[in-house]
Structure 1
Amino acid sequence: MKPQVGEMAPDFTAPVVGEGIGEGESVTLSALRGSRVVLVFYPKDDTPGCTTQACELRDGWFDLKGRARVYGVSIDDVKSHGKFIRKFSLPYPLISDPEKAIVEAYGVWVEKSMYGKTFMGTERTTFVIGADGRIEHVLEKVSPKDHLGLLSELLA
């Protein structure tokens, strides 16, 4: 079940790469209290929709970076994240969740279907978390091309 607006965001500690963060470092959500945090859950590194979304965020980074700490989150490993960041010059860090603990805590590990087959995967969802650690906004099933515009409006 997804956390709802007004609820405390589920805490986690997980490996993170990018934005000057060294290999082997982790991020803990509760340690970021005092700052607004955006968690952008996406299905997979270097796939068409996820690349579109990531590059939209990159291209709008100048506008976003001063308003919140933005993190991409997927079940891909740190090595995959590093390649994705380098390939597309992503200016924000990516959190690795191969054990699926974060995607499950946020209710975005769901049954999906494609071409008549069902499988488990990450639902494209963004959580805006206030400086107090409470969920401010939840963007669900947003088109990768529309994501930046909606996020920018919420952070204004």
Structure 2
Amino acid sequence: MNNRVLGQIRNIPKLTVDKCKFHRSSYLSQIQKMTRLRVVDNSEIGKRAMAEGKPPKCIHVYNKTGIGKIGDVVLVAIKGEKKKGILVGLKQNQNPKVPKFDSNNLVLIDDNGSPLGTRIHVPIPTILRTILKEKTHAKGAEYTKLLGIASKFI
């Protein structure tokens, strides 16, 4: 930009900028850093955090792109602790035959992949079976326990 255009931008009154109540950034409906999630299992730490109105926040996504999809493992900050979790439902637009949820759902797991809770309260997508079986063979973690505690599949 040349100096003349910059001078014109600087001379715009502040009042006209304040009247424009719109966001300049694009809308992102993806799981990335600082995204709030909803714990859907009955783990003790998850129940306390959701009851207090302080849902966990994503602080890292374990994949190359940094954008979470169904079945990805994320690191979350919950009640002042760092825990791992698996994404089991997302608000973002999905591939065909994958349901779209009203909230970003998470199941908390420990380091070897077994879930912290004993029940999952919401239905999880059936595509999660194939995704987690591939990750179980590749990473050596035991994600089949997560499928065992799920009560409903969509």
User: Does the alignment reach a TM-score above 0.5?
Assistant: no
The structure with the larger Rg is: 2
TM-score of the two chains, using structure 1 as the length reference: 0.25
Task: With a CA cutoff of 8 Å and minimum separation of 6, indicate the structure with the bigger relative contact order.
Answer: 1
| TM value normalised by structure 2 | 0.26
